[in-house]
Amino acid sequence: MDSRLHDRFGSAAPELGLPDDLPFVERVLRRRTHRRYANRPVPSALIEMLCCAALSASSKSDFQQASILTVADPARRAALAAPFPAMPWIGTAPNFLVFLGDTRRLERLGELRGHPATNRGLEGFFNAAVDAALALQTFILSAESAGLGCCPISVLRNQAKLVADVLALPDGVFPVAGLCVGWPADAGHISMRLPPGLTLHRDTYDDAALADDIARYDAEREARNPTPPEKQRAPERFGTAAAYGWSEDKARQSAQGEGAAFPPWLRACGFTFD
Ligand SMILES: Cc1cc2nc3c(=O)[nH]c(=O)nc-3n(C[C@H](O)[C@H](O)[C@H](O)COP(=O)(O)O)c2cc1C
């Protein structure tokens, strides 16, 4: 059994028989989100270096539509954290950054060069969001390679207007996610991923075995990290399930919905999604 893959995928891990000479890949396989941090500052030069690494991520058409905003001002940090008391790490992490999709820069270039064009249709929005996401994950992997721990924060989008006010975001610049950064306070744990049989397809898409695959995944994940009954999501709406697992939790989360305020805020900023 290949423990590098087993820790991530459990019994569904493929047997690939590869030698132990892929240190970067092994680091990625063992990566994890950290939400608790040691009370030790992160050198600002290191954060800036990691931002430079993040901005080295691939970029659609070389449009370079990601921007990163580092938030050091305690008042702004507190204002961003206030709506989310259930996630105290937003306010307490040693460093906090916001990864932005930036459709504005290309529009400004158009004006500068005398070829004005809107960049707020679906294509512009999607390209900018993808660029920001690639920069986010590139920052995370780079930070983890330096021994830091990170936690992306997409709940910020539920308060996009507040975020834009606090950070003085102009129209066309939107938050994709915040990011908590610090030295991890504990080892954390590897979060099991779905079996590759369900997420890795060959030649054609095939999810015929979904129900069985998910049942096995739920059981194995619960065996590793059981969900106590009091941690079941929204029992007042969904009841208390005898057998609870990842799929029940994610189905409940998805049914509750999130992010209703984001599209109207984006439209108010001029995004048409046409
Ligand atoms: C785009 C994105 C947004 C996220 N937003 C939040 C968030 O708002 N709050 C939080 O605590 N974790 C957030 N996370 C962390 C995920 O919950 C975490 O990545 C997931 O549970 C898998 O765990 P792992 O990264 O340790 O494998 C986010 C992750 C991503 C990629």
In sequence order, the β-bridge partners of residue 202 are: 204
Which residue's CA is the nearest one to ligand 1's atom 29?
Answer: 152
What is the C-alpha to C-alpha distance for residues 270 and 251, in angstroms, rounded to an integer?
A: 33
Q: What is the DSSP letter of 260?
A: T
Ligand 1 pocket test target in 30, 33, 89, 249 with most atoms within 8 Å of CB: 33
Question: Quick check: 34 and 188 in contact, CB under 8 A?
Answer: yes
* CA dihedral over 272, 83, 152, 241, signed as positive or negative: negative
pLDDT digits (tens, 9 = 90+) for 181-226: 999 999 999 999 999 999 999 999 999 999 999 999 999 999 999 9
Cα pseudo-dihedral 34, 37, 42, 48, rounded to 10 = 30
pLDDT digits (tens, 9 = 90+) for 100-127: 999 999 999 999 999 999 999 999 999 9
CA of 153 to the centre of ligand 1 (A): 7
Q: Which residues contact 39 (CB under 8 A, 6 or more apart)?
A: 94
pLDDT digits (tens, 9 = 90+) for 233-242: 999 999 999 9
* CA dihedral over 250, 254, 256, 259, signed as positive or negative: positive
What does pLDDT average to over the chain?
A: 97
What is the C-alpha to C-alpha distance for residues 83 and 98, in angstroms, rounded to an integer?
A: 16
Q: What is the pLDDT averaged over residues 243-265?
A: 97
Kindly give the number of the ligand 1 atom that is closest to the alpha carbon of 33.
Answer: 26
CB count in 10 Å sphere of residue 61: 9
State the pLDDT at residue 212.
97
Kindly give the number of the ligand 1 atom that is closest to the alpha carbon of 156.
Answer: 8
Pocket lined around ligand 1, Cβ cut-off 6 Å: 32-33, 35, 87, 151-155, 177, 191
Q: What is the pLDDT averaged over residues 138-144?
A: 98
Kindly give the number of the ligand 1 atom that is closest to the alpha carbon of 35.
Answer: 11
Closest CA to 51 of 166, 142, 144, 151: 142
What is the C-alpha to C-alpha distance for residues 190 and 33, in angstroms, rounded to an integer?
A: 8
Phi, psi of 197 (to 5 degrees): -60, -20
Q: Which residue has the tokens 């390209």?
A: 127
